Amino acid sequence: MKYIFRVERITKSSNSRTFLILILSVFGGLLLSSLVFLFKGISPFLSLQKIMVGSFGSLYGIKETITKAIPLLLIGGGLSIAFHGKFWNIGAEGQILFGAIGATWVALYLGPGMESYIIIPLLFLSGFIFGAIYGIIPALLKTRFRINETIITLMLNYIAAEFVQFLVFGPWKGKTQYGFPYTDNFPQSATLPLIPGSRIHYISLLVGIFITLLAWFILNKTKFGYEVKVMGENPDAGKYAGINFTKTTIWIMVLSGGFAGLAGVGEVAGIHHHLSYPASISSGYGFTAIIVTWLARLNPIYIIFSSLFFGGILVGGDAIQTSLALPAATVNVFNGLILFSLIIGGFFQDYKIRLHHETRKL
């Protein structure tokens, strides 16, 4: 007789299990980070306290958390549609940047002298179109030439980043920016209003909540959503049912790219007020949103909560950097460990490990 560990698939997952796993994973991540803090000679209790206060435990923290949740909400809504169709869009970073370019173009060339209530909808419209066009490229490459979308969307991120660099160092470099690689600032009418005393550009927040609800509606109530799910879950059955893959794939990326583009609009028109270094515009939101979407199990409604949660983690990391004078890398380690344990937690949503003892017989 011997004992063995056996991994078993869970056929039915319950919400309570999901929630418990989430809590335990975060706890595990905090425990791991505590070890890192110990090595740095800082009391883990103090640092955890700072993280909590910095993210959810103070008014300032909550405001910042919401600010960071806005782009995650927008991108996550689009990714949930793409991932339901098994289109692995990891190019949201690039789509954010193109949305930002679209908004900047409208703000700088049409903005001056135009009223807010006209220019702001135009910003969002332009950002959506730019993001969508950038999203359609991998969709076409996949459907026409069967090129793997994961690689293409990833590569397009770098192209978008270089293009923004080119713009801010070259043709769009602002005359009023003292030589910094920024575009000129948007005219006042083309900036998004903030909730006083915070950086929450509430129009984007409302758009973000609307987008997640819309994504839910699309997936669950429309013919297009049905096609996306059938195509994603079983392409052979989709072919047998006569679904047009090319058309469906392109629409998936119009929405996913377009929504990411809206996030780019929020960042330039709400926070920065000009286009600048690509890394400071997209700031990794496009990648973080992938985790946000997975954590929500591709359900757009849950994305509202998971994006707030991740907003908090990003802010909490920033908080210890300033209050405990830790190097920036420590924050990355902290964020990384939380993600790491969440991903491990994700495994336990589908599998359980059981200890068996088996008697050898034929």
> Contact positions toward other proteins, by CB under 8 A?
11, 221-227, 229-230, 233-234, 236-242, 360-362
**Closest separation between CB of residue 165 and other proteins, Å?**
39
How far apart CA 285 and CA 267 sit, in angstroms, is 11
Cβ nearer to other proteins, comparing 11 with 16: 11
Cβ nearer to other proteins, comparing 188 with 222: 222
Cβ nearer to other proteins, comparing 7 with 241: 241
Cβ nearer to other proteins, comparing 12 with 175: 12
Q: Which helix (H) or strand (E) holds 18?
A: helix 15-39
**Closest separation between CB of residue 90 and other proteins, Å?**
22
**Closest separation between CB of residue 299 and other proteins, Å?**
14
CB 245 within 8 Å of CB 143: yes
**Closest separation between CB of residue 332 and other proteins, Å?**
36
Cβ nearer to other proteins, comparing 172 with 302: 302
Instruction: Estimate the crossing angle of helix 59-84 against helix 92-109, to 10 degrees.
Output: 110
CB 282 within 8 Å of CB 91: no
Cβ nearer to other proteins, comparing 146 with 223: 223
Half-sphere exposure of 278 (CA within 13 A, CB side): 22
Cβ nearer to other proteins, comparing 251 with 310: 251
Cβ nearer to other proteins, comparing 266 with 300: 300
Is the CA virtual torsion 163, 165, 166, 168 positive or negative?
Answer: positive
- What is the DSSP secondary structure assignment for residue 172, as one 8-state letter? T
Closest CA to 256 of 282, 289, 305: 289
Q: Which helix (H) or strand (E) holds 4?
A: strand 2-9
CB 60 within 8 Å of CB 323: no
Q: Which two tokens stand for residue 330?
A: 């420590």
- Residue 2 φ then ψ, to 5°: -145, 155
**Closest separation between CB of residue 226 and other proteins, Å?**
5
Question: Which residues make beta-bridge pairs with 252?
Answer: none
How far apart CA 157 and CA 95 sit, in angstroms, is 8
**Closest separation between CB of residue 124 and other proteins, Å?**
23
How far apart CA 362 and CA 68 sit, in angstroms, is 59
**Closest separation between CB of residue 252 and other proteins, Å?**
15
**Closest separation between CB of residue 11 and other proteins, Å?**
8
